Amino acid sequence: MKIGIVCYPTYGGSGVLATELGLGLAERGHQVHFITYRRPARLSNFHENVFYHEVTDADYPLFEFTPYDTALTSKLVDVVKYEGLELLHVHYAIPHAAVGYMAKKILLSQGRYVPVVTTLHGTDITLVGSNPAFAPVVEFSINKSDGVTAVSNNLRQQTHDNFEITTDIEVIYNFIDLKRFSRKNKDHFKKAIAPDGERILTHVSNFRKVKRIDNVIRIFKQVQEIIPSKLLLIGDGPERRNLEQLCRELKLCDEIRFLGKQEAIEELLAVSDLFLMPSENESFGLAALEAMACGVPVVSSNVGGLPEVNINGDTGFVSNPDNIDEMARNAMHILGKEENLQAFRERALAQANRFDIAHILPKYEAYYEHILTTAVYSTNK
């Protein structure tokens, strides 16, 4: 099968998932074409059956803002025609679902029908997409997609709550490559971070307010007062300066390390004992799943799709987003006894195995086949 994948080429969850999906499909013999304005972050090496097509900007004095939607649409039409693509899979509704619809209509006018599958990832529905400035186009383009998937049951429900959806939404969960995240012996590395055997707590995000990293630090403060611990904050973003100031105010600078953006996240998760994720909203919680794939239990909020990933009392604990005291108590319950920690580790790893790419890829392949066989009946979309 020849598949075109459209995504944001960033470290964000939708871009990572789209890239890993494409690479996985290529390994299974499909021809995959990435179409975006920059090479995706995880598409760094040569891969068999993988092709990259860059969308270039139109530099014209009339445009105060570059018309990326138009440039991307034209590129999709070009790649479909000259590479013989059979299906387009667009990730993140804004603007990709609308762009997919425009490309499909242009191609249809030329006698070529190529179905479009849209995958919803979260903020394209719950935050940006629900903005009145975008909502009508988002709703229209979702309903005009030949297939729609969401990364959690919660996101599917929120899509129906926010929009008048007339098409079916298939839930296909996010995934990880368990081989990449298998826990490795990093005792020497752990010794460098926690020389006196302290517990290591970790958080990974893009440092936006919605992630509530200030609560991560406050949870850690309570834990650290009882159990000697270190905290690793991985990532970067607009809240970093405020977080550094909070660390100074709480006199925790010696116990907390800001590590910035990291590509080999599995190396850091491999030495972690607990993952903290008290977000205000998470459509799925991919970072939590990556931690669990390293055998790291999770203390998280109970919002969005997180309870579908982090099973309360089994792989960790979930609480209301601002219930710092409960999260701290749960963290100490896991970390306080070695037998507790090991039991949670084993269950976290077992849960992560359910989301291994080997289990999820066939679901996408089956869905593509379904769309290709039914698309001929949906040319009115």
pLDDT digits 0-9 by tens, 64-112: 667 888 999 999 999 999 999 999 999 998 899 999 999 999 999 999 9
Residue 253 has pLDDT above 90, yes or no: yes
pLDDT category at 44 given cuts 50, 70, 90 is: confident
Mind listing the pLDDT tens digit for each residue in 168-177?
Answer: 999 999 999 8
CB 91 within 8 A of CB 120: no
Who contacts 275 (Cβ-Cβ below 8 Å, separation ≥6)? 201, 202, 203, 204, 269, 287, 288, 291, 292, 296, 297, 298, 299, 300, 316
* pLDDT score of 146: 95
Tokens 């598409």 correspond to 43
Short-list 349, 180, 201, 348, CA closest to 264? 180
Residue 320 has pLDDT above 60, yes or no: yes
Domains 2-175+357-377 and 178-353 share a fold: yes
Which is more confidently placed, 189 or 102? 102
Q: Print burial letters for 222-237: b (CB count within 10 Å at least 16), e (below 16).
A: bbbeeeebbbbbbbbe
The mean pLDDT of 273-278, rounded to a whole number, is 98
Residue 229 has pLDDT above 60, yes or no: yes
Q: Which long-range contacts link 334-338 to residues 24+ away (Cβ below 8 Å)?
A: 334/274, 334/297, 334/299, 335/199, 335/223, 335/227, 335/229, 335/273, 335/274, 336/226, 336/227
Architecture, CATH, for domain 178-353: 3-Layer(aba) Sandwich (3.40)
* pLDDT score of 60: 63
Short-list 327, 324, 333, 335, CA closest to 296? 335
Q: H/E/C letters for each residue in the chain?
A: CEEEEECCCCCCHHHHHHHHHHHHHHHCCCEEEEEECCCCCCCCCCCCCEEEEECCCCCCCCCCCCCHHHHHHHHHHHHHHHHCCCEEEEECHHHHHHHHHHHHHHHHHCCCCCCEEEEECCHHHHCCCCCCCCHHHHHHHHHCCCEEEECCHHHHHHHHHHCCCCCCCEECCCCECHHHHCCCCCHHHHHHHCCCCCEEEEEEECCCHHHCHHHHHHHHHHHHHHCCEEEEEEECCCCHHHHHHHHHHCCCCCCEEEEECCCCHHHHHCCCCEEEECCCCCCCCHHHHHHHHCCCCEEEECCCCHHHHCCECCCEEEECCCCHHHHHHHHHHHHHCHHHHHHHHHHHHHHHHCCEHHHHHHHHHHHHHHHHHHHHHCCCC
Mind listing the pLDDT tens digit for each residue in 286-316?
Answer: 999 999 999 999 999 999 999 999 999 999 9
Distances (CA, A) of 246 to 102, 216, 217: 47, 11, 8
Classify burial at 327, counting beta carbons within 10 Å of its beta carbon; exposed 0-12, middle 13-18, buried 19 or more. buried
- Topology classification of domain 2-175+357-377: Rossmann fold (3.40.50)
Mean pLDDT of the chain: 91
**Can you tell me the distance from the alpha carbon of 330 to that of 168, in angstroms, rounded to the nearest whole number?**
38
The identity of residue 192, as a single letter, is A
pTM of the model: 0.89
CB 145 within 8 A of CB 117: yes
What residue spans define the domains of the chain?
2-175+357-377, 178-353
The mean pLDDT of 189-193, rounded to a whole number, is 86
Mind listing the pLDDT tens digit for each residue in 137-181?
Answer: 999 999 999 999 999 999 999 999 999 999 999 999 999 988 887
Residue 12 has pLDDT above 90, yes or no: no
CB 117 within 8 A of CB 150: no
Residue 11 has pLDDT above 70, yes or no: no
For residue 45, give both structure tokens: 């090496």
Which is more confidently placed, 21 or 68? 21
